[in-house]
Amino acid sequence: MSRIEMKTPLVEMDGDEMTRILWQMIKDELLTPFIDLKTEYYDLSLTHRNETDDQVTKDSANATLKHGVAVKCATITPNAARMTEYDLKEMWKSPNGTIRAMLNGTVFRAPIIVKGIEPYVKNWKKPITIARHAYGDIYLNTEMQVKGKGKAELVFTAEDGTKTSLPIHDFDDKGGIIQGIHNCTESIEAFARCCFNYALDVKKDLWFGAKDTISKKYDHHFKDVFNEIFEKEYKAKFEEAGIEYFYTLIDDIVARIMRSEGGMIWACKNYDGDVMSDMVSSAFGSLAMMTSVLVSPSGVYEYEAAHGTVQRHYYKYQKGEETSTNSVATIFAWTGALRKRGELDGLKELCDFADMLEKATISTIESGRMTKDLALITSIKEPKVLNSLDFIKEIRKNLEEMTV
């Protein structure tokens, strides 16, 4: 078979630790033998971010805005321990945070479903994709504890100095707690558009829930913004695509999700998304089987695995010990990005290759050959546990059978 030629480069963001090792194995075994891989390479390893004063992260985000599609390896977000370990000049910010802010994007997380790794909720048959609004609410709050009697008020001072105030509470002598939160219409609009665009892109229903009956201004504004944008810009497109936008109260959504068979995109306010994404990912079995894509309102895509750099496995790898690290989510980051690149460039072979690589990966697991994390939770009898490289090589064997 001749190698597939690419037209536009894919932005490649390399990363850290065990996922950096997997990254190279995936490229060597599963990509370059089949594709004349054309990438614009950015090394986002912590060492290189430190050398470039984190400029490389910003450059990679700008390249993504330019080319439209990126694939990212997991990266270390430095903390105090990493400062010493890597002798850092500064505690650099999370690359994901920086890229998300530059793309003004929303993160969509979805599990990869295979037979033999059953979700804990037995009626969930299709992936549930969670979209989390990553701006504001309690994550940018102002809080106060008050120790005695007094009055709390909400005050807004307009640019011209006009004040509008509302009473919050008259505290008794035991005092209490107060919290001020906000969100911006522009951010909610961008979130809504990301969700509607992504739903059209993957042809799945979009569900959104908030607490508008109790929060008649705050949560109601989210509901109104979504409705207005939907009616004006997306209603016809949704009808044409045969998908639905559905709003109901957040508690109703939770109840319906539990009874559903999955398959929808669930848009969540910031806190709901934080909590529910952990619930959904653990219910589907494994963090190593969770994909993640950052989508900008203008339609720029960055694909990655939802898990981190798998530090503990990397330390074993460094000592020369055998590792059995699951590369599935990282493989799916590549297939997601290649398929999107193929769609944008009208390269059907590239889209077909992405489909085949996903099938080869899933069938490897379903035939009982898998990494240790999956072997521990599978219902398949006597699974064969493979090391990191052998698992990838098994996928290659399957892929070669499919591509001849």
Q: Does 311 bind ligand NAP (CB under 6 A)?
A: yes
Give the one entry of Mg ion, ligand NAP, none that residue 98 binds, where binding means its C-beta sits below a cut-off of 5 to 8 angstroms depending on kind.
none
Which residues are paired to 301 by β-bridges?
69, 295
Burial bucket for residue 161 (CB in 10 Å: 0-12, 13-18, 19+): exposed
Give the one entry of Mg ion, ligand NAP, none that residue 278 binds, where binding means its C-beta sits below a cut-off of 5 to 8 angstroms depending on kind.
Mg ion
Contact string 86-125 vs ligand NAP (x = CB under 6 A): ----------x-----------------------------
Give the three-state DSSP class for 208. Answer: strand
Q: Does 326 bind ligand NAP (CB under 6 A)?
A: yes
Question: 235 is written with which tokens?
Answer: 């209603």
Q: Does 278 bind Mg ion (CB under 5 A)?
A: yes
Contact string 258-297 vs ligand NAP (x = CB under 6 A): -----------------------------xx---------
Give the one entry of Mg ion, ligand NAP, none that residue 76 binds, where binding means its C-beta sits below a cut-off of 5 to 8 angstroms depending on kind.
ligand NAP
Give the one entry of Mg ion, ligand NAP, none that residue 274 binds, where binding means its C-beta sits below a cut-off of 5 to 8 angstroms depending on kind.
Mg ion
- How far apart, in whole angstroms, are the C-alpha atoms of residue 75 and residue 92? 12
Residue 270 CB, shortest distance to Mg ion, in Å, is 11
- How far apart, in whole angstroms, are the C-alpha atoms of residue 259 and residue 60? 41
Residue 326 CB, shortest distance to ligand NAP, in Å, is 3
- How far apart, in whole angstroms, are the C-alpha atoms of residue 239 and residue 234? 9
In the bound complex, which residue of the shown chain has the CB atom lying closest to ligand NAP?
308
Question: 248 is written with which tokens?
Answer: 């109901």
Give the three-state DSSP class for 202. Answer: helix
* DSSP strands (E only) in 258-396: 265-268, 290-295, 301-305, 369-370, 384-385
Give the one entry of Mg ion, ligand NAP, none that residue 299 binds, where binding means its C-beta sits below a cut-off of 5 to 8 angstroms depending on kind.
none
In degrees rounded to 5, what are phi and psi of residue 378?
A: -80, 155
- How far apart, in whole angstroms, are the C-alpha atoms of residue 204 and residue 221? 24
Q: Does 271 bind Mg ion (CB under 5 A)?
A: no
- Residues lying near ligand NAP in the complex (CB under 6 A) are found at 74-77, 96, 287-288, 304, 307-312, 325-326, 373
Please give the residue ranges that form the binding site for Mg ion (CB under 5 A): 274, 278
